[in-house]
Amino acid sequence: MCGITGFTGKEAALPFLLQGLEKLEYRGYDSAGVTLVDAKGLYTVKTKGRLKDLRELLANEHLPQTAGIGHTRWATHGVPSNLNSHPHTNAKNTISIVHNGIIENYASIKEELLRQGYPFVSETDSEVIVHLIDYYDKGDIFEALKKALRYLQGSFALCVVSTANPDTVYVAKKDSPMIVGHSSIGSFCASDIPAVLEYTKDIMTLEDGNLAVLKADGVELYDFAGNPLPQHWTHVPYDLQAAQKGGYDTFMEKEIHEQPHVIQETLRGRIVNDDISLNELDQLAFPWENLERVYFVACGTAYNASMFAQDLFRHHVPKIPSFALAASEFRYGSYYLSPNTLCIFVSQSGETADTLAALNRAKERGAKTLAIVNVLGSGLARKADVTLYTCAGPEIAVASTKAYTTQLVLLTCLVIKMSELLGVARENFKELIDNLKDMPKIVEDMLKEKDQVHEYAKLLADKHDAYFIGRKMDYFSVVEGALKLKEVSYIHADAYLAGELKHGPIALIDKGTVVIALATQADVAAKTISNIEETKARGAVVILITTSKQNTDKFNYVLRVPNISPYLMAIPVAVLLQLFAYYAAVIKGCDVDKPRNLAKSVTVE
């Protein structure tokens, strides 16, 4: 969630640190700070609030230091405050650290350090790190850091600077993302690639257990014991412009409108002669005839995509049990896992802590693992047996849009190919494949409805609640639609199975209540319409999304989707519901790209 930047080189460090933190604002934060270092000492400035508040504090300072670290914090241990903000320094003001993640055994470490006389000024788990390094510091920070790392349990992306080596930044990584970069002006580190793109496209993604030493003339890589490691560098194939708004008012709006293109890119090479091509599955070396069950595991929006995949797979291969499970529950549940189990992990960032922990559990139990991710070289991509990449490109807005629809597209391809490997005849998928080929154009047509959606979103201008209903595959769409609305507009939104309304939820419907109803599943559309009419009879204002085949004379607010396979309706519907959430948030004056309390990449459990 939090953002980290670090630099040492031949220029002033502060410009890089601040612009990098700005590029990482999408991750969510409630405080910000920097430490600059030179032979004279440490200079630390931090504050509760936004980056603009930090910039104001630094505005009149002359700060030529060529090494430093920066941080944006999303509160986990301790409330947002100046004292709880990072960086944290030791009492002698000779060592400073920034940290992403959770130190699970911080309480016991803190108890011992307090006995040793170390003063604590914050409520954070992170502060124990700087005092632990200080405890072991006998004149060699590298050795002190190695010793401290032995005692840290949990997750961390950690940067350290000290006055003893003012031209060096030390970086350690375990279960929290961190990349390093290098150019002619120096060496960099950051939580994510956008922070460094203005300075370099040559990056190295750190693995768990990596310890990097950044100097102006290069990067050294070690394991936690101090043994040198080989370095594997990647040239990033996209530029900073891909992370800019491109003429749109917000990143979310831009990313919604990028969906025709990114869906086309995700499908590139996946449909060959009307067949699905997923050659990566060969790497699994999986005996498909022995497959016992399938788990789709994810969090948030990716979990909603997983529910879609679960139902699609159940329809085509009912004999194999399949389940969509929240990653936060998977690692603690009593779920059957064996070498004949396939676990499919879905994540935009590939760094979601709960999903990574779930993958580790699956591998421990011998299950085969497959990841669907958007970020090249991410933790899930490196750890899974096989990885399939969506091609959504950088997604900056916190609320996922284009990553979600590309997940739906790629999951459809995966389910089709798995079904064929399990003996389902290819002709069963002709309509799905034809619809997939047309999907970029279908989504483009949905975007043309934005003005109508904008008008309907005005119905929520003075509302605090909204209700979404649907049946069968429409249910997963309304769950995602409700999530999107509450994420960005802060309107309380619930999603219900339409047939369950009469079993309790209809008690919430009153005059003027806004109900967003889906009726795209032909075999149950009539029943859904009947449920919708029940809400109208109680005074609800209904926005209906359905196909051209349905009679909608009784409804004032209607949006149409094309007559495609009911199993792919979720994609065009998603675009309409994303637009609806976006405009509702804009009308209410919300910060669409950075919703309160949320983060793009949830790297703590």
Do 371 and 303 reside in the same domain of the chain? yes
Do 464 and 545 reside in the same domain of the chain? yes
Do 237 and 267 reside in the same domain of the chain? no
Phi-psi region of 118 (alpha: psi -120 to 50; beta: other; left: phi over 0): beta
**Among 206, 221, 243, where does a domain finish?**
243
* 299 counts as catalytic: no
Q: What are phi and psi of 557, to 5 degrees?
A: -125, 105
Do 482 and 556 reside in the same domain of the chain? yes
Q: Is the pLDDT of residue 52 over 90?
A: no
CB 374 within 8 A of CB 389: yes
pLDDT per position as a tens digit, 273-295: 899 999 999 999 889 999 999 99
CB 343 within 8 A of CB 297: yes
> Residue 143 is encoded by which pair of tokens?
């050795």
pLDDT at 71: 92
Do 498 and 543 reside in the same domain of the chain? yes
Question: Predicted confidence band at 306 (pLDDT cuts at 50, 70, 90)?
Answer: very high
pLDDT per position as a tens digit, 362-404: 999 999 999 999 887 788 988 999 999 998 888 888 899 999 9
Alpha-carbon torsion 562, 565, 569, 575, what sign?
negative
pLDDT at 478: 95
How far is 596 from 239, CA to CA, in rounded Å?
28
pLDDT at 26: 57
Range of the domain at 343: 254-447
Q: Is the pLDDT of residue 475 over 90?
A: yes
pLDDT at 513: 85
What CATH number does the domain containing 461 carry?
A: 3.40.50.10490
Range of weakest confidence among 234-243, 312-321, 433-442, 456-465:
234-243
Do 434 and 295 reside in the same domain of the chain? yes
How far is 231 from 310, CA to CA, in rounded Å?
39
Task: Write the burial class of residue 494 (CB in 10 Å: 0-12 exposed, 13-18 middle, 19+ buried).
Answer: middle
Neighbouring C-beta atoms of residue 352, cutoff 10 Å: 29
> Residue 367 is encoded by which pair of tokens?
């299950």
pLDDT at 588: 94
How far is 199 from 222, CA to CA, in rounded Å?
24
How far is 77 from 24, CA to CA, in rounded Å?
21
**Among 447, 470, 498, where does a domain finish?**
447
Question: Is 140 inside a domain boundary?
Answer: yes
Question: Is 602 inside a domain boundary?
Answer: no
More confident residue, 520 or 537: 520
pLDDT per position as a tens digit, 235-249: 887 666 555 666 788
Do 225 and 265 reside in the same domain of the chain? no
Proportion of the chain above pLDDT 70, given as a percent: 94
For 155-177, what is the mean pLDDT?
A: 94
**Among 401, 417, 447, where does a domain finish?**
447
Question: Is 588 inside a domain boundary?
Answer: yes
Do 126 and 198 reside in the same domain of the chain? yes
pLDDT at 78: 56
pLDDT at 244: 63
Q: Is the pLDDT of residue 605 over 80?
A: no
Do 264 and 354 reside in the same domain of the chain? yes
Question: Is 158 inside a domain boundary?
Answer: yes
How far is 352 from 384, CA to CA, in rounded Å?
14
Among 2, 299, 343, 413, the active-site one is 2
Do 453 and 439 reside in the same domain of the chain? no
pLDDT per position as a tens digit, 563-574: 999 999 999 999
How far is 371 from 324, CA to CA, in rounded Å?
14
What CATH number does the domain containing 157 carry?
A: 3.60.20.10
How far is 226 from 232, CA to CA, in rounded Å?
18
For 348-375, what is the mean pLDDT?
A: 92
Work out the mean pLDDT of the chain and round it to a whole number: 90
Question: Predicted confidence band at 74 (pLDDT cuts at 50, 70, 90)?
Answer: low
Question: Is 395 inside a domain boundary?
Answer: yes
Exposure string over 278-316, b if 16+ CB within 10 A, otherwise e: beebeeeebeeeebebbbbbbbbbbbbbbbbbbbbbbbb
pLDDT per position as a tens digit, 176-226: 889 999 999 999 999 888 899 999 999 999 999 999 999 999 999 999 999
* 159 counts as catalytic: no
Specify the DSSP class assigned to residue 87.
Answer: P
- Give start and end residues of each alpha helix (H) in 258-398: 259-267, 300-316, 327-330, 353-364, 379-383
pLDDT per position as a tens digit, 589-603: 999 988 887 755 554
pLDDT at 243: 55
How far is 234 from 203, CA to CA, in rounded Å?
5
Q: Count of domains in the chain?
A: 3
How far is 578 from 481, CA to CA, in rounded Å?
7
CB 4 within 8 A of CB 98: yes
Do 80 and 219 reside in the same domain of the chain? yes
Task: Give the pTM.
Answer: 0.71
How far is 161 from 230, CA to CA, in rounded Å?
24
Read off the amino acid at residue 440: P
Do 381 and 465 reside in the same domain of the chain? no
- Give start and end residues of each alpha helix (H) in 458-542: 473-489, 525-537
Question: Is 604 inside a domain boundary?
Answer: no
Question: Is 501 inside a domain boundary?
Answer: yes
pLDDT at 47: 87
CB 191 within 8 A of CB 100: yes
CB 26 within 8 A of CB 197: no
Q: What is the dihedral of CA 321, 327, 328, 331, to 10 degrees?
A: 70
Read off the amino acid at residue 67: A
For 403-430, what is the mean pLDDT?
A: 95
Q: Please state, in angstroms and as integers, the Cα–Cα distance from residue 513 to each residue in 28, 191, 492, 588, following that order.
A: 32, 43, 12, 17
